[in-house]
Amino acid sequence: MVAPAALRVVRCGGGSLHGARAVFSADSKQVGLGPGSFIPGGVYLLCASGDFVKMYSLATEETLRLMGGHADLVTGIQLNAHNHMQLYSSSLDGTIKLWDFMDGIPIKTFTVGSRLLALYVLASSEDSVFVVIPKSGERDTFQLVSVKLPKGAGQDLEAKELSVVLDGVDASPKHIAFGREGEYVASVKDVNLQVYFFKQKQLNRFSVSAVKTKSGNNQFSCVACHPTEDCIATGHADGKIRLWRNFCHKKEYTFSTLHWHHDIVMDLAFSVEGTSLLSGGVESVLVLWHNESDCQKDFLPRLGSPIEYISMASDGTLCCTLHTDNRITIINSNLRFSRSIQGLIKSADIKTGLVVDPRTKALVLNGEPGHLQFYSLQSDQQLFSLDIVQRQYIHQAGLNQIDLVKVAFSPQGKWLATVEEREEVTDPELQLKLWFYDEETQSFKLNTRINMPHEDHITDMCFRDMDELEDDSLVLVTAGRDCVFKVWVMVEDTDPEAQQSVSWSCDFVGSYHNYQATNCCFSEDGSLLAVSFEETVTVWDSVTWDLKCTFCHPPGKIRNICFGRLTCSKYLIGATDSGFLCCWNLLSCALEWSAHLNILVLQPDPLSEHIAAVSWLSKESSLFVFKPNEPRPIYIQRNFCREKIQLAAFVPRDEPETIGSEKYLWLRRSQLFFLTDTQELITLSMKSLEERLTPSSKQLAVEESLPVTPFSLLLGKHRHQQSQEDIDLGKVFLRNKRAQDSPAVKELLHTPAHVLPSASFLCPLFINSLLISKENKSAEEVADEVEMESEKTEDDSDEERDVTEMEQEDTSPVELLGEMTCKLSKSQEKELRKIRKMDFSWLSAF
């Protein structure tokens, strides 16, 4: 494996995932694979996610495919109305791409030129799509244009035929909807609704009163059109839904109002028949309105977070809601919760920092309000969500609710400490909770709850990191803005009624010159505690709690501190807000070196001496990796990210990576993850994109959930016939089956035609797979081998690579032939010999 020239910045989750409504893949006629197995319509869910289009399996909730290629945010995805296996996507980079999402390959790229803000595809318009683009020359005005997609041969095409449909539309994709059979288009902006009829070329404008009523403002927030009737539903900022009818008349239009939401209606969707209407908003409740009646409605409450988008499957069996915290909820047609797809949950503000759970190696951070999420980096899934605050969260803007602000794990992950507080200026409400990991229930159990552990906000919290020591020597330190740090220890619980044997109580309170304590951390061996008090770092003996020494680097206040590890444990690193990174020697109590850097994040690797520091300078984040014993950084990556890096964490690898380059040795044992201020999780990777994205397990998942194609049907039928012939043709069947299970055949059947090598090459392979080796005579043996084979399917990569290599060499058939004979003589000589000896009498059975 060749080491790549540089580390790649890889976005691996989080961010604001959903730029547009999700799309259910259209089902291919809902045919069962065999008796009993039945796949409901819409097997996949496609989502715009940052620069990518994600494809989820509805059966397993897994991310099956990540289709990358756009250079900027994907703003719209729509199925091709004429080929349901294809998907259009539009992006801010000014291109529309047509994908074959089953294979994840871009078929065509149409370059439009200006930024595309929304995409609409109509079944009625054969070769054009509709996009929203900014009006040239004017800021913040947008227009809806229809783009004629040229029918060229090449992959990259220019789409230059634009015709303006509507002017003065809004940029949001939710503000435009196309009516029944594409007869009209409705667009809302502020307090105005415009409807354009394509056939009549008639534009009608309506508006609601602009005056702010006492119930809020009247502005439109979203629009949806009835699939079969002339009816437009609009959502408003005051929570009302208006159903417009008769809007083909300028004067005699009329509307009725549905009102349940107390805050802005975020999205609306009609059911496929149009008999019911779904609406969602901040309340996190999906409302189903029947027959457009104010009195008949059903609710699906407690969806967790505000609903951002609602989309319906084309057959109406499923609908999905995308939430502001990046969760996707799949809902059955009877308004029952079906499943939810959740990666990194986006919370309002990550106050806890990025913490790695030592037990599961999951990233732990704020999740749902008041919850702690455990996010598995490997599977991009939420492992679980721990309710810390344990209070009802009220979905309403402007309420001060208790939130989780700090979290710390004990070194083995046996204890979890959490701090929650209510943001109040005068009198903060604080609570420190200590949780014990219960092996039986495999979850954290509340052990101690301490009300008002500090008088003011808690700024930092850490456990003493001592691996070998006994459990009862565990120490927790909290630093508060009330100018003290407190040491908490476990004590035997004397209360006989207590259910647990230990609880936590305060052991020591330290302070320094009445300065606010801002950071705290333990040295690697746990003997020293460093606590920063504004400008000063104090070092304390962790046994006697004596103040040992102080460091400072005026005039800056200390922003971060950490101790060096392993060979560098004699150093203490601190970053100040005046833009200095300092390294003090604990033995000489002197400044070892300092560097002028505006460090935002300082993160030591727990498994090596390396320390990562992220600086923020003139709108670019830069990464520096260094060892404390040398002032020169080992690795610098300047401007690796446009966003501000908020947090970072080293996540230990399961097994050390083999790394060729000296430069990247620091990535050997741990992987570094960053969280930007848009809550996007990014990492540095040496692997290429494809390698990283398609682990073998996912590849398999794709194969298993392949859609029903005519070919696979034929295959299924064939199998069925065989099962009937099973009795009289037992042996032959088994062998046949073996042939079909052979990876070569499987590959042949499942590889798209355009990537297959030439038939002349495939033919011998295919024939070979059909042949029966003479050695295995007894049926049991054969069966054994079948099992073996199926176990080995994961190791089929050799075969795969062969195929791909062949594909590359396909260009020179002469050479190929020569090589092939050569190959045959070497690797398959044995087989050839076998063929010669083969008894072909079984062929008469066919």
How many whole angstroms separate alpha carbon 623 and alpha carbon 666? 13
How many whole angstroms separate alpha carbon 834 and alpha carbon 260? 77
150-182: string of b/e by CB count within 10 Å (b at 16+)?
eeeeeeebebeebeebbebbbbbbbbbbbbeeb
Which residue among 124, 155, 246, 723 contacts other proteins (CB under 8 A)?
246
- Which amino acid makes up residue 673? F
How many whole angstroms separate alpha carbon 662 and alpha carbon 668? 10
For other proteins, which is the closer residue by CB, 262 or 737? 262
List binders of other proteins among 202-231 (CB under 8 A).
Answer: 228-230
Which residue among 83, 124, 293, 697 contacts other proteins (CB under 8 A)?
293
Copy the structure tokens of residue 555: 């005039």
Query: Which bin fits 281, alpha (ψ -120 to 50), beta or left (φ > 0)?
Result: beta
For 492, residues 6+ apart whose C-beta sits below 8 A from its C-beta are 501, 502
Count interface residues toward other proteins (CB under 8 A): 24
Sign of CA dihedral 671, 676, 681, 686: negative
Shortest separation between residue 302's beta carbon and other proteins, angstroms? 19
Shortest separation between residue 256's beta carbon and other proteins, angstroms? 5
Three-state secondary structure call for residue 274: coil
Question: Sheet holding 611-617: strands in order across?
Answer: 599-604, 611-617, 620-626, 635-641
Three-state secondary structure call for residue 491: strand
Q: Are 163 and 256 in contact (CB under 8 A)?
A: no
DSSP conformation letters of 79-97: EETTEEEEEEEEETTSEEE
Binding of other proteins by 251 (CB under 8 A)? yes
Shortest separation between residue 226's beta carbon and other proteins, angstroms? 9
Q: Comparing C-alpha atoms, which of 373, 465, 458, 449 is closest to residue 413?
A: 465
Stretch that binds other proteins, among 104-112, 134-142, 293-301, 433-441 (CB under 8 A): 293-301
User: What x-and-dash track marks residues 367-396 binding other proteins by CB under 8 A?
Assistant: ------------------------------
Which residue among 183, 577, 657, 677 contacts other proteins (CB under 8 A)?
183
For other proteins, which is the closer residue by CB, 299 or 842? 299
List binders of other proteins among 184-203 (CB under 8 A).
Answer: 197
Q: Give, in degrees to the nearest 5, the angle at Cα 717 between 713 and 721.
A: 170
Residue 480 burial (C-beta neighbours within 10 Å; 0-12, 13-18, 19+): buried
DSSP conformation letters of 34-55: BTTB-PPS--EEEEEETTEEEE
How many whole angstroms separate alpha carbon 421 and alpha carbon 493? 26
Binding of other proteins by 171 (CB under 8 A)? no
Binding of other proteins by 262 (CB under 8 A)? yes
Q: Between helices 743-750 and 730-741, what is the axis angle to 10°? A: 60
Which residue among 81, 92, 191, 248 contacts other proteins (CB under 8 A)?
248
Which residue among 156, 273, 294, 546 contacts other proteins (CB under 8 A)?
294
For other proteins, which is the closer residue by CB, 108 or 242? 242
Q: Comparing C-alpha atoms, which of 525, 548, 526, 524 is closest to residue 537?
A: 548
Stretch that binds other proteins, among 43-51, 63-71, 245-253, 305-313 (CB under 8 A): 245-253
For other proteins, which is the closer residue by CB, 251 or 836? 251
Which residue among 135, 180, 414, 548 contacts other proteins (CB under 8 A)?
180
Copy the structure tokens of residue 241: 């839904």
Shortest separation between residue 199's beta carbon and other proteins, angstroms? 9
Shortest separation between residue 231's beta carbon and other proteins, angstroms? 8
Sign of CA dihedral 30, 32, 37, 43: negative
Stretch that binds other proteins, among 85-93, 95-103, 135-143, 256-264 (CB under 8 A): 256-264
For other proteins, which is the closer residue by CB, 29 or 251? 251
Binding of other proteins by 256 (CB under 8 A)? yes
For other proteins, which is the closer residue by CB, 296 or 378? 296
List binders of other proteins among 273-292 (CB under 8 A).
Answer: 292
Binding of other proteins by 263 (CB under 8 A)? no
For other proteins, which is the closer residue by CB, 234 or 347? 234
Which residue among 171, 192, 253, 422 contacts other proteins (CB under 8 A)?
253
Shortest separation between residue 203's beta carbon and other proteins, angstroms? 14
Shortest separation between residue 306's beta carbon and other proteins, angstroms? 18
Binding of other proteins by 790 (CB under 8 A)? no
Binding of other proteins by 257 (CB under 8 A)? yes
Stretch that binds other proteins, among 24-32, 244-252, 470-478, 504-512 (CB under 8 A): 244-252
Which residue among 8, 135, 148, 245 contacts other proteins (CB under 8 A)?
245
For other proteins, which is the closer residue by CB, 226 or 669? 226
Shortest separation between residue 253's beta carbon and other proteins, angstroms? 7
CA atoms within 13 A on the CB side of 525: 10
Shortest separation between residue 397's beta carbon and other proteins, angstroms? 14
244-253: string of b/e by CB count within 10 Å (b at 16+)?
bbebeeeeeb
For other proteins, which is the closer residue by CB, 267 or 292? 292
Residues that bind other proteins (CB under 8 A): 180, 183, 197, 228-230, 243, 245-246, 248-249, 251-257, 262, 292-296
